[in-house]
C-alpha cells in the first residue's frame, strides 16, 4: 500500500472569522471587567492589548491551520481483505457520522457543535472517501491525519 498526501493552502477566510469572533468576545469581557473595577472603559493597557489583539490573532491562526483540508491518496490497497469496510469503520471510530455510503463514495460529517460550526463555514469538517483504482480521502486534517496513522501503523491494514 502506498500513501501520498496533499495539504490545502492557508484558509484566510476562516482566520478572519475566528479572529473577529475572538476579538468581540475578549473585548466585551475586558470592557465588563473594567466597568466592574471602575477603570475608564477605553484606557489601553498591556492586558487589553494582549487579550483583545494578540490572543485573537493567535487563536485565529491556530484554528485556521486546524481547519485546513488534507487529501490522502491510497494506492495498491486491493490485496487487503475487506479494505473498504475496515476503512469506513476506522473513520466512524474517529467521532463522525456516516452521511452517505455508496459503492463509489463514502461521506462522513463531524459531530459536536464546535465542529458543526466549522462545517457550516467552509465544509472543512466533512470527510469524503472516493473509491476507485485509487482511494482518495479528503477532509479535516485532524481526522484524515488520524486515518493516515491508522493506515500506516494498524495491523488490520497490513497483509
* pLDDT single digits (tens) 76-94: 888 888 888 889 999 998 8
User: Residue 67, SS3?
Assistant: coil
pLDDT of 24: 94
pLDDT of 120: 63
pLDDT of 109: 86
Question: Within its chain, how far is the Cα of 60 from the centroid?
Answer: 13
Q: pTM of whole model > 0.85?
A: no
pLDDT of 16: 92
pLDDT of 121: 62
Q: Residues 91, 127: contact at Cβ < 8 Å?
A: yes
Domain range list for the chain: 2-7+69-157, 12-65
What would the mean pLDDT of 45-73 be, rounded to a whole number?
Answer: 86
Q: Phi first, then psi: give them for residue 71, nearest 5 degrees.
A: -115, 125
Alpha helices, H only, 45-105: 46-49, 55-66, 83-92
Question: Within its chain, how far is the Cα of 2 from the centroid?
Answer: 24
pLDDT of 135: 93
What would the mean pLDDT of 13-33 be, rounded to a whole number?
Answer: 89
Q: Residues 89, 102: contact at Cβ < 8 Å?
A: no
Q: Phi first, then psi: give them for residue 12, nearest 5 degrees.
A: -70, -30
Amino acid at each position: 500500500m502506498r500513501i501520498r498526501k496533499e495539504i490545502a493552502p492557508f484558509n484566510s477566510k476562516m482566520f478572519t472569522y475566528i479572529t473577529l469572533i475572538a476579538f468581540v468576545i475578549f473585548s466585551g469581557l475586558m470592557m465588563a471587567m473594567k466597568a466592574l473595577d471602575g477603570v475608564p472603559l477605553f484606557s489601553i493597557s498591556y492586558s487589553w492589548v494582549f487579550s483583545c489583539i494578540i490572543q485573537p490573532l493567535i487563536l485565529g491562526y491556530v484554528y485556521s491551520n486546524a481547519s485546513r483540508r488534507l487529501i490522502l491518496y491510497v494506492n495498491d490497497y486491493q490485496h487487503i481483505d475487506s479494505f473498504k469496510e475496515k476503512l469506513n469503520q476506522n473513520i466512524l471510530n474517529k467521532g463522525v457520522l456516516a452521511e452517505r455510503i455508496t459503492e463509489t463514495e463514502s461521506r462522513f460529517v463531524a459531530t459536536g457543535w464546535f465542529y458543526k460550526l466549522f462545517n457550516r463555514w467552509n465544509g472543512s469538517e466533512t470527510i469524503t472517501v472516493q473509491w476507485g483504482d485509487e482511494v482518495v480521502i479528503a477532509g479535516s486534517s485532524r481526522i484524515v491525519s488520524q486515518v493516515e496513522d491508522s493506515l500506516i501503523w494498524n495491523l488490520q491494514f497490513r497483509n
